[in-house]
Amino acid sequence: MDRRSFARAAGLVLAMSLSLGGIAAETPAPAEESWTLPLEVGLRFSDNWLETSRSAEGFLGSIDELDPDQRYLPCNIVVAWRPLPWLSLGVQWDQMRARTVTATADHHSDGSFRVRGPLLGAALRWPDDDPVQPYAELGLAVLSVDFDESTWWGNGYPSVADWEAAGKPSTPYRGKQRTLSPSDSTSWTAGCGVLVPFGAHWALDLNLRYVDAESEVGYAIRYNGVTVDEREKVKIPLAYYAASLGVRYLF
């Protein structure tokens, strides 16, 4: 999904908010204080897309593709403070996994990048007197980036087949080990969404966001714990889009 597709999807979210407004209008609006008290907490399920999933030149070595490794768990946690009816300040805990795919004949994976951390930001809501509230958000993403190596690759085996033929051992192959060492990422994030109330304190939360993550990744080979080959770090784009659906509780 590129930025143009993201803009279209954002427009769809806002258009849906207008349709949901008609549904909410048929339901008695919650008490005024349930929408003006300052604290909100929420939990959302997310579906992720990478902005750059392929590279003609290759990202690093034989890795030429990144594939979102979806874990459909309620992992996007939201806590927000609302000092004004139209403004909220909050923090989200977000995470994304990207599985590496190689250009080799078997298209094997060396492992997965794991991106996780807080998104700090502000959200503007309008109209502040309507039960259904579209919002736009902008903030800072402070992310930890790790690489979870596939056992066979981290332990230096020539191929998956060789590792399987050896009985899938967890020890290094002839003392050899491979590692990828990614740097953490601090970047910007932006999104939009809509809150649709049900009951006195609950709201359905539909959200679409972009996180501009990137990591400098180093590659090294070790024999018996001694580094014998260490490559120059390469920048790998890990920017992603996330579509989320969840609920919020408004105190």
**Where does the pLDDT of residue 177 fall: very low under 50, low under 70, confident under 90, or very high at 90 and above?**
very high
Judging by DSSP bridges, how do beta strands 176-182 and 63-68 pair with one another?
A: unpaired
Q: If you average pLDDT over residues 45-67, what whole number do you get?
A: 92
Residue 12 gets the label, from left (phi > 0), alpha (psi -120 to 50) or beta, of alpha
Distances (CA, A) of 90 to 1, 32, 41, 223: 26, 21, 10, 47
How long, in residues, is the chain? 251
Residue 28 reports pLDDT greater than 50:
no
Q: If you average pLDDT over residues 114-120, what whole number do you get?
A: 97
Is the distance from CB of 194 to CB of 12 less than 8 angstroms? no
Q: What are the structural domains of the chain?
A: 3-250 (2.40.160.20)
> What is the chain's mean pLDDT, rounded?
87
CA trace torsion 169, 171, 173, 177 (10° rounding): 130
Q: State the Cα–Cα distance between residues 215 and 17, nearest whole angstrom.
A: 35
pTM above 0.85, yes or no: no
The whole-number pLDDT of residue 127 equals 76
The whole-number pLDDT of residue 104 equals 81
pLDDT tens across 67-116, in order? 998 877 788 999 999 999 899 999 999 999 999 998 888 889 999 999 99
pLDDT tens across 185-242, in order? 999 999 999 999 998 899 999 999 999 999 999 999 999 999 999 998 999 999 999 9
pLDDT over 70 percentage in the chain: 85
Between 68 and 14, where is the model more confident? 68
Between 71 and 163, where is the model more confident? 163
